[in-house]
Amino acid sequence: LPLDILYEDEDILVLNKPADMPVHPSAGNYENTLANGVAWYYKQQGGNFVYRCINRLDRDTTGVLVLAKNPLSGALLSAQMKQRQIRRTYLALTDGIPPERGTVSAPIARMDDSVITREVNWEHGETAVTHYERLAVSNGYSLVELHLDTGRTHQIRVHMQYLGFPLVGDYLYNPDMEYIHRQALHSWKLSFIHPITKEPMEFTAELPKDMKKILI
């Protein structure tokens, strides 16, 4: 599987993940995953490999993610994630035009009749906070920048649907596939402190073509 490597040293590997690639094997996805691709990459180099993905992305969410290459960097990066020291910036295309900026603070829980779908649930949900800013508008769609204070499953997708501006092409929450065949969500920027050198690190991945064409 092809890998788009943004950065690599002896402690971390930063990748630009494509769409239609799960981050790890699961039922029905045993070989087409990022973990498989990275395992092969290191096998070709004759090295050992343990998969340590720090910021997981949904199968169809594109963009920057970081892997730890050893137990120490994995533990330190995981601690940064828990302490909300890793800043994740996403770009999304929404159906409709949301306010210029705002914050959604609404708890998220799994729907009772589904193992996948989530919803805002004020009684049983876990705390979830998303900040957003509208960057551009084209043909009734909006390019929105989003920052997460928490990392709930489907958080951006659920919160934008809750606002009334669901992501374009989201088969779970807005199944309109006219312009794109996946949720239009991209992990644009990732900022963190290098776990070993303590240097500030920041990586970006260009907006993919299938999202760009909707804005033209």
Q: Residue 182: which of 59, 90, 64 has the closest Cα?
A: 59
| 178-198: burial string, b at 16+ Cβ within 10 Å, e else | ebbebbbbbbbbbebeebeee
What is the rounded CA–CA span in Å between residue 79 and residue 94?
32
- In this structure, are residues 94 and 168 in contact, taking their beta carbons and an 8 Å threshold? yes
Q: CA dist 65 to 18, 69, 73, 172, Å?
A: 11, 13, 15, 23
| Residue numbers annotated as active site | 58
Q: Determine how many CB atoms are found less than 10 A away from the CB of residue 124.
A: 11
Beta strand spans in 106-160 (E): 108-110, 118-120, 129-138, 141-148
What is the rounded CA–CA span in Å between residue 144 and residue 98?
9
> Percentage helix, strand, coil, to 5, in the chain?
20, 35, 45
